[in-house]
Amino acid sequence: MIPIAKPYLTKEEAQAAYDTILTGWVTQGPKVQEFEEKFAAYVGSKYAVAVSNCTTALHLCMIVAGIKAGDEVICPSMSYIATANSIKYVGATPVFAEVNEDYNIDVKHAESLITPRTKAILIVHQIGMPADIDAFKALCAKHKLLLIEDAACAIGSAYKGKKIGSHSDLVCFSFHPRKVITTGDGGMITTSREDYKDRLKLLRQHGMSVSDRVRHSSSKVIFEDHIEVGYNYRMTDVQASIGIKQLEKLDWLLAERRKIALKYNEAFKSIDKIRLPIEKEGYYSNYQSFSIYIKDSKAINRNELMQALLEKGISTRRGIMCTHKETAYAEEYKSIKLPVSEDLNGNSILIPLFVPMTDEEVNTLVDMVKKQIS
């Protein structure tokens, strides 16, 4: 059986968690701070704020961006449902934009959706491929909107020579095991703004004015105050110690993932019934997932292809979901049409890509897929 994905975890991560547990400090503390500093340095942002997962990261970004009930936030429908949910959490309305052939939000369509109630645009770097950040920065500047990046899948990806996380002021990452590096669950927000960093740190810890770490290391008695209604969105030191080890392996993981992606691209490039991932000049993907789009859906039935591969021991997934088609959204959004997103969703398949993947596994997969589609 070849799984769709597999986290790369070793004795080093286990040892790091073990060591942290024995220090007696298991919730947010010195390891979280160390992970934040290393993460910020890695992506090239001024600050990084660790949280419990990317969904809570997005929620906090909505709050610091000042998004409230009655506001609209433009985002792609074609994304994991947590993208749109984070807008709902603050009572605002997700307004769904169309995507391009690279699965990323279309800037022209997004612009056509701007109304006086629009407050922000939430772009997604889908399955690790960067969206056109500069185009959205320009659009946001023109209409005085905030830009938020859902980079859940995009750790290590880069746009115009700079890593994702260094381009704008509210960028959210995930460390779920389905992403390129993992802490079990976990999330991170990068920002260059000190005021955002301070507010995010406040909100993730019940609105508390002094962190546990500061209180415990102080030689004077300090009383904390809770200065606004916050949340418990903390990452633990056990998770952070795993994250530090994962971050050390990230460059190697990226190189390995890209080697596999290159093999797939080489193996499938001559099949004209399908379209392979589009990585334009200046874009650098971590290949969190490898998606194949079936151009000729009369010749190849996507669901039958998935079933045939499963019977050969190869696990695949449908393309990225369309949030407006999920039951939680379907009624409210029943009148909207997003033909490109719906077509991509219906005719794409994600194939296995993980580290380490043996040459034999890659070759088996290539042969099986070729047999089914050519």
Ligand X SMILES: *Cc1c(COP(=O)(O)O)cnc(C)c1O
Please state the closest distance from residue 52 (CB atom) to ligand X, in A: 8
Residue 286 contacts ligand X per CB under 6 A:
no
Q: Cis link prior to 94 (omega < 30° from 0)?
A: no
Among 20, 79, 118, 348, binds ligand X (CB under 6 A): 79
Q: How far is the CB of 70 from ligand X (least distance, A)?
A: 24
Q: Which stretch binds ligand X (CB under 6 A): 50-58, 97-105, 255-263, 327-335?
A: 50-58
Judged by CB under 6 A, does residue 54 bind ligand X?
yes
Contacts of 249 (CB under 8 A, 6+ apart): 8, 181
Look at the block and give the residue holding tokens 């691209």: 265
Q: Whose Cβ is closer to ligand X: residue 176's or residue 204's?
A: 176
Point out which span in 23-31, 148-156, 260-268, 337-345 binds ligand X (CB under 6 A): 148-156
Return the number of the residue (97 or 153) whose C-beta is nearest ligand X.
Answer: 153
Q: Which is nearer to ligand X, 213 or 318 (CB)?
A: 318
Q: Is 289 in the site for ligand X (CB under 6 A)?
A: no
Binding part of the chain for ligand X, among 37-45, 48-56, 197-205, 289-297 by CB under 6 A, reads: 48-56
**263 or 317: whose CB is closer to ligand X?**
317
How far apart (Å, rounded) are the C-alpha atoms in residues 367 and 120? 45
Residue among 165 and 362 whose Cβ is closer to ligand X: 165
What is the smallest separation between the CB atom of 194 and ligand X, expressed in angstroms? 25
Q: How many CA atoms lie within 13 A of 199 on its CB side?
A: 16
Of the residues 83, 190, 239, 241, which one makes contact with ligand X according to CB under 6 A? 83
Question: Which amino acid is present at 307?
Answer: Q
Among 120, 124, 164, 253, binds ligand X (CB under 6 A): 124
Please give the backbone phi and psi of residue 182, each rounded to the nearest 5 degrees, phi first: -135, 155
> Does 204 help bind ligand X (rule: CB under 6 A)?
no
Residues 161-180 that bind ligand X (CB under 6 A): 174, 176
- Single-letter code of the amino acid located at 240: A
Sign of torsion over alpha carbons 295, 296, 298, 301: negative
Contacts of 196 by beta carbon, 8 Å cutoff, 6+ apart? 47, 64, 169, 170
Determine if 53 is a binding residue for ligand X (CB under 6 A): yes
Nearer to ligand X, 188 or 300 (CB): 188
Contacts of 111 (CB under 8 A, 6+ apart): 139, 143
Query: Which CB, 139 or 172, lies closer to ligand X?
Result: 172
Q: Candidates 17, 110, 153, 189: give the one binding ligand X (CB under 6 A).
A: 153
Q: What single-letter amino acid sits at 359?
A: D
Span from 52-60, 247-255, 276-284, 299-307 in contact with ligand X (CB under 6 A): 52-60
Distance of closest approach, residue 354 Cβ to ligand X, in angstroms: 16
Is 119 a catalytic site residue? no
Give DSSP secondary structure letters for 300-364: --HHHHHHHHHHTTB--EESPPBGGGSHHHHTTTTT---HHHHHHHHHEEEE---SS--HHHHHH
User: Comparing C-alpha atoms, which of 85, 74, 192 is closest to residue 139?
Assistant: 74
Size of interface with ligand X, in residues (CB under 6 A): 14
Nearest to 42 by CA among 234, 195, 253, 216: 253
Strands (E), the chain: 47-51, 72-76, 93-97, 118-124, 146-150, 158-159, 162-163, 171-174, 187-191, 274-275, 283-284, 290-294, 317-318, 348-351
Task: Check 31, 119, 179, 249 and give the catalytic one.
Answer: 179
Catalytic residue numbers, as ranges = 179
Interacting residue ranges for ligand X, rule: CB under 6 A = 53-55, 79-80, 82-83, 124, 150, 152-153, 174, 176, 187
